[in-house]
Structure 1
Amino acid sequence: MKFAVIVFPGSNCDIDMYHAVKDELGEEAEYVWHDAESLEDYDAVLLPGGFSYGDYLRSGAIAQFSNVMKEVVKAAEAGKPVLGVCNGFQILLEAGLLPGAMRRNESLKFICKQVELKVENNETMFSAGYDQGEVITIPVAHGEGNYYCDEETLSRLKTNNQIVFTYEGENPNGSLENIAGIINEQGNVLGMMPHPERAVDELLGGADGLKLFKSIVKQWREANAVNA
């Protein structure tokens, strides 16, 4: 399986993403710059955290207009796995690939700590490796992770089982309904604020995030074996 790790000016978690896929899973991965004109050669797309374009205007607001985002939209529409973490999640929201918006943390402070997440939906290509209701530990690092949407959107998220992860115990940023990660209706685009790519090795404090990347690979291989 071949992953594209999108790099925007200001990205700073692209190396972590690359390491999780290339070194921990042994899958193919390449850095793809923001002005790329095609993602056809890749099976999955990863949008890393950081401060794309300095987070001017709003987090992800400028990155959504990058040339590569047209290709990310095409990849999503084609059913390829698309994962956006932290700033990547913010970009997916700004690009309209996921519903809702991101506001500043309730504390108005940047937070960087380990948090507990509850797996609300383990029937996705990103979460199938977890047990339903499993509580995992993943780090967060953001200043604008307070997820918000209107009542109609929230109702739709719940009805379609699109809420994949919620904060368990402490809600670090004030996110609506403790939401930490959501998926699109098609089921192939996931956005989450916590960083699974920073939790792939016990030496670094835990490996709960590795199951997410393993889930992507397993589901992709099973789907392609059926289609072969």
Structure 2
Amino acid sequence: MKFAVLVFPGSNCDIDCYKAVEDAIGEEVDYVWHTATDLSAYDCILVPGGFSYGDYLRCGAISRFAPVMNEVAKAAEQGKYILGICNGFQILTEAGLLPGALIRNMSLKFRCHDTVLKVANADTPFTRDYAPGEEIVIPIAHGEGNYYCDEETLASLQANNQIVFTYGSNPNGSLGDIAGICNEGGNVIGMMPHPERAVDSLLGSEDGKRMFTSILKAWRDRHDAAAIR
């Protein structure tokens, strides 16, 4: 399996994502600059956290127009796995690959600490190694992590089981305590907490490691099924 870690001007969690892939599952991984126009070699695309383009206009609003995002959209349509973390989640919503928006934390303060998440949907390629309803510890670090959508969109997310993670104690005012969602196909996930910062007990938690093992298992199952056909 081959991973791409996108790099935008201002990304600061790209190295964390790269090392998480190396340390958690030992698969091949590359940094891919925001000007790239071909992602066909990759099976999973990680859109990392940080402050792409300094968060000018809105978080992710400029990155959404980077050339590589056209390729991310194509990869999503092809069913490839895409994980947007923190600023990556913001970019995916700005690009229309996930519904809703991330706005200022209700406290108007930057929040940086461990948080308890509930696994609301364990039936995705990213969460299959978790138990339904399991509580895990994953750190957050954001000032604009307050998830918002209209009532119709929220009803759709709930009906389609697209809410993947919820907060045990809401740190930012997110609607419905939402910490992470997926698209209807389940192959694109965005979340504000940082699983790449929770892959080793030395970091305070290794609960994020299973996101990466889940992705690898999902890819292997798909790859094996394709080989049989």
Instruction: Provide TM-score, normalisation by structure 1.
Output: 0.99
1:23-172 maps to which residues of 2 (within 5 A)? Answer: 23-168=23-168, 170-172=169-171
The aligned amino acid for 1:182 is: I
What per-residue deviation string (whole Å, max 9, x for no partner) do you get for residues 1-39 of structure 1? Answer: 100000000000000000010232110000000000100
Q: Corresponding residue for 2:225?
A: 226
Distance 1:102 1:21 in 2: 26
Distance 1:204 1:94 in 2: 31
The CA RMSD measured in Å over matched residues stands at: 0.5
The aligned amino acid for 1:185 is: E
Distance 2:220 2:53 in 1: 35
The aligned amino acid for 2:110 is: F
Distance 1:37 1:76 in 2: 15
What per-residue deviation string (whole Å, max 9, x for no partner) do you get for residues 127-149 of structure 1? Answer: 10000000000000000000000
Q: In terms of mean alpha carbon deviation, does 112-121 or 16-25 score higher?
A: 16-25
4+ residue stretches of structure 1 with deviation over 3 A?
none
The aligned amino acid for 2:215 is: I
What per-residue deviation string (whole Å, max 9, x for no partner) do you get for residues 107-132 of structure 1? Answer: 00101000000000100000100000
Equivalent residues of 2:125, 2:215 under 8 A apart: yes
Q: Corresponding residue for 1:182?
A: 181
Distance 1:126 1:36 in 2: 25
The aligned amino acid for 2:183 is: N
The aligned amino acid for 1:222 is: D
What per-residue deviation string (whole Å, max 9, x for no partner) do you get for residues 50-78 of structure 1? Answer: 00000000000000000000000000000
Count of aligned pairs: 227
In structure 2, stretches of 5+ residues that fail to align are none
Superposed displacement of residue 41, structure 1:
0.6
Equivalent residues of 2:6, 2:32 under 8 A apart: yes
1:82 match: secondary structure: strand
What per-residue deviation string (whole Å, max 9, x for no partner) do you get for residues 146-205 of structure 1? Answer: 00000000000000000000001x100000000000000011000000000000000110
What is the aligned-residue identity percentage? Answer: 67
